[in-house]
Chains A and B, each alone.
Chain A
Amino acid sequence: MNNFPAFLHLKLGIYVKYFVDWLIKNFGEFFEALTEALLWFLGQVESFFLWLPWWVVVGGVCFLGWRLRKLSTGITFALLMLLIGSFKLWDATMATMALVLTSVVFSLVIGIPLGILMAYSERTSTLMKPVLDAMQTMPSFVYLIPAVMLFNLGKVPATFATIIYAVPPVMRLTELGIRRVPREMVEAAHSFGSTAWQTLVKVQLPQALPTIMTGINQTTMMALSMVVIASMIGAKGLGMEIMIAISRLDIARGFEAGISVVILAIIIDRLSQGLVHKFKFPE
């Protein structure tokens, strides 16, 4: 009597499976080509990072820390990077950087235009909001399975999963930033005969920029937090180190890799927040 009625049994999941099967069957070649292209792109980025001499990276981080915040910050960042190197985790860190950076770039390319669209169209906004909620709350393992089926194992599905998880903040904050531009300011732009594009580029985006930069910062942080999960489907880097440490119960190795992720997160966060401040105008 108090049990949920047995006849109410909806097998929704099976249709999702059918859909993925249908995708693979009909668009298999498309996904293969896409995988190849992404793999090539990721490979280029990764080999660029690995090619960079270590002292250029350390020096670069130091310089950025100095310019965007202060000199002592730059020096601290440089020392932290040296610490990672001394853990013998330099290459893994660069691989992670490549993955994070690529995911962030793709997230921005997808997220900012969609965020603009959401700000302009009430309908798109109401439609996208639950989708974004789902993207952020759905356990990532759930979409790792179809991602692997579509893109094979390795970096490509890892990037794909990272993008899904990391794109919502930049979309939301782009929308918010543009919606928050005062009505009179937009009216003023229109009243001078601006085209829609001029209004967007000369008024709305610059006004929204500090908010968008906050979104980019959050997106980057989210992408970084996905590295361990992404390594479950074969992405190399710090995540992979952690996975190996877990499977071998190697506390030392796990700790060093974990600390490296934290250091990377702190550096990226502080640098991108420094960048946010650079884009602020007196309000």
Chain B
Amino acid sequence: MQMTIKVKVENLTKIFGRSPKAVLKKVQEGMSKEEVLKKTGHTLGINNVSFEVKEGEIFVIMGLSGSGKSTLIRCLNLLNVPTDGKIYVDGENIVAYDKHQLREYRQKKVAMVFQHFGLFTHRTVIKNVEYGLEVRNIPPGKRYEIARKVLATVGLEGWEFKYPTQLSGGMQQRVGLARALANDPDILLMDEPFSALDPLIRREMQLELLDMQAKLKKTIIFITHDVNEAFKLGDRVAMMRDGKIEQIGTPEEIFSTPANEYIENFVKDIDKTKIIQAKNIMFKPAALISLKDGLNVAAKEMERNGISSVFVVDSERRLLGLVTIDDTVKAIKEHKTLIDILRHEYNTTGPETYIQDLLPIATESKYPIAVVDENNKFLGIIVRVSVLSALI
């Protein structure tokens, strides 16, 4: 993943009410959300929020209703104008944009998918998808062509001339997604896009989003109130409460070191097997034998570390196989070489495999699981105990 910063939000505050600027000072002096509402009648939507989103990542903002997450995402395309703070996109502060620049930014760089789809019910599916292009005055023939292509990528071929209300919820949100993608924006803002769908369809859409993202590599900012969804989709997750971000981190980081009790309560309910990956629980084995080391070194290493088997790699740390202590002792007597007694009946896995998929393997296999990267380079091992203990 590239490490370029795509979106940078600095000290963002949004206050709703008659004179937000006047209330801003009190908020900065530390007045709480409840106090602000009681004393001034203003609603503190988001309070001094800062974060960065890297190019090509899925950044999930997770919070319960009223936490300010929808307010926050609407600041990123200025549907809500922040009361204070800066938002840099590709290094430009969009809060300072004039009308013309803002229109250009919305037309080309950013697109939004809405919770209740926000489709234009008076337009056919294809006319919905064409909307963003139409606003940019792209000629009808060209925008029709683009819209058809995008509709095909979301699996809606043949539905072009239906009206949105004639489609199921899941299909409607595909239209919403296609409409957002038609402009080929860098940034996709998704405001609880799957919350209105029933659980089965939701899961299907989540997987499709991940598939699509693997190809398109957009920068996605995704809002949800569902902690499982957040941890499933997010490369990084920001946990929000009362207009503030309580913690930002990868799912695993938040999971293993929750910043406070509030977050701890949240992650308690999570199905851990879907979050913890092989790389989180693997460790460097105490002993690792290179092919050129030979049988005697292997025997000695196993003896010293009190283990009954050891993995063998080549000079570039590529995994070749495994030898057991019994085989080694026998081979020394019979004057064989290391390569003759290599065994292959162990399991390997990638570093990003979730432990839900490792569980069945770990319980069956008598050797540790080897973690290798796509070039078969040896990264570490996972033993049954560490899989099981990760679940507690």
Contacts and interface: CB of A to CB of B under 8 A. Distances in A.
Interface of A: 182, 184-185, 187-195, 198, 202-203, 206-207, 209, 281-283
Contacts of B77: 191
Nearest to A209: B122
Nearest to A208: B122
Query: Which 10 A-B pairs give the minimum distances between C-beta atoms?
Result: A193-B106, A193-B107, A188-B118, A184-B118, A192-B132, A191-B112, A193-B103, A206-B122, A281-B122, A282-B163
Interface string B226-243: 000000000000000000
Given A283-B121, A283-B165, A192 B135 contact: yes
Contacts of A193: 102-108, 132, 135-136
Interface string B108-138: 1011101111111111000000011011100
Contact of A207 (B102, B121, B135): B121
Nearest to A279: B122
A281 B131 contact: no
Given A187-B79, A193-B136, A281 B121 contact: yes
Interface in B17-65: none
Contacts of A190: 79, 106
A192 B120 contact: no
Given A282-B163, A282-B166, A192 B131 contact: yes
Contacts of A206: 120, 122-123
Given A185-B118, A187-B74, A187-B79, 16 more contacts: A184-B117, A188-B118, A188-B119, A188-B120, A190-B79, A191-B106, A191-B111, A192-B111, A192-B131, A193-B104, A193-B106, A193-B107, A195-B103, A202-B134, A207-B120, A281-B121
Contact of A187 (B103, B118, B134): B118
Nearest to A205: B122
A283 B120 CA distance: 10
B183 interface: yes
Contacts of B132: 192-193
A195 to B, nearest CB: 7
Contacts, number: 75
A211 to B, nearest CB: 12
Given A203-B120, A207-B121, A187 B183 contact: no
A168 B293 CA distance: 96
Interface of B: 74, 77, 79, 102-108, 110-112, 114-123, 131-132, 134-136, 163, 165-166, 179, 183, 189
A196 B185 CA distance: 21
A192 B118 contact: no
Nearest to A194: B135
B79 A184 contact: no
Contacts of A282: 121, 163, 165-166
Contacts of A187: 74, 79, 112, 114, 118
A68 to B, nearest CB: 20
A268 B383 CA distance: 84
A203 to B, nearest CB: 6
B135 A281 contact: no
B190 to A, nearest CB: 12
28 contacts: A184-B116, A185-B118, A185-B120, A185-B121, A187-B79, A187-B112, A187-B114, A188-B120, A189-B131, A190-B79, A190-B106, A191-B79, A191-B106, A191-B110, A191-B111, A191-B112, A191-B189, A192-B106, A192-B111, A193-B103, A193-B135, A193-B136, A194-B135, A195-B103, A198-B135, A281-B122, A282-B163, A283-B165
Contacts of A283: 121, 165
A203 B121 CA distance: 9
Contacts of B106: 190-193
Given A190-B106, A192-B131, A282-B121, A184 B163 contact: no
Contacts of B123: 206
Nearest to B114: A184
Contacts of B119: 185, 188
Contacts of A191: 77, 79, 106, 110-112, 189
A238 B150 CA distance: 60
A88 to B, nearest CB: 46
Nearest to B166: A282
Contacts of B120: 185, 188-189, 202-203, 206-207
Nearest to A190: B79
B131 A202 contact: yes
Nearest to B137: A198
Contacts of A194: 135
A136 B111 CA distance: 46
B172 to A, nearest CB: 12
A192 B107 contact: yes
Contacts of A202: 120, 131, 134-135
B315 to A, nearest CB: 55
B145 to A, nearest CB: 18
Nearest to A185: B118
A281 B163 contact: yes
A189 B165 CA distance: 18
Contacts of B79: 187, 190-191
Contacts of B102: 193
B197 to A, nearest CB: 15
A98 B108 CA distance: 51
Contacts of B107: 192-193
B195 to A, nearest CB: 13
A45 B116 CA distance: 48
B127 to A, nearest CB: 10
Contacts of B116: 182, 184
